Amino acid sequence: MSQTHPLTTTTFEIPGYRVVRSFGVVRGIIVRSRSLIGNIGAGIQSLFGGNISIYTELCERARGDAYNLMLQHAGQLGANAVIGMRYDATEVAQGITEVLCYGTAVSVEPLR
């Protein structure tokens, strides 16, 4: 299950806060493959059309894991926020996908 973090955003500013220090790029990388059983189940679902929930759940889990790894990386650097967060995915081999979550780790403080 993915954590949520109130000071993580795809924007480069957090309303009500100011950046006081930048720690640079942080990332979380996860590489996942589809199982044979999962592929069979997804194949059956695809016969009926619509959302292929087996793959949707796999993708959500991979994104959540990459996000959590990025937050851990930011925390190790001493950051309390991540700005400019993005996701990227690449198929590194047939049936094997890399999911990358990255952003800029910063320290923020509330505006006075």
* pTM across the whole model: 0.81
Whose structure tokens read 């993580």? 8
- Domains recognised in the chain with CATH numbers: 17-110 (3.30.110.70)
Looking at every residue in the chain, the average pLDDT score rounds to 85
Contact call for residues 3 and 70 (beta carbons, < 8 A):
no
8-50 pLDDT, tens digit per residue, is: 999 999 999 999 999 999 999 999 876 656 556 556 656 666 6
Whose structure tokens read 């493959």? 33
**Residue-level pLDDT at 2:** 42
The pLDDT-based confidence of 75 (bands split at 50, 70, 90) is: very high
Token pair of 112 as six digits: 């006075």
Strand 17-33 with 96-110, pairing: antiparallel
How many other C-beta atoms can be found within 10 angstroms of the C-beta atom of residue 4? 8
**Residue-level pLDDT at 97:** 86
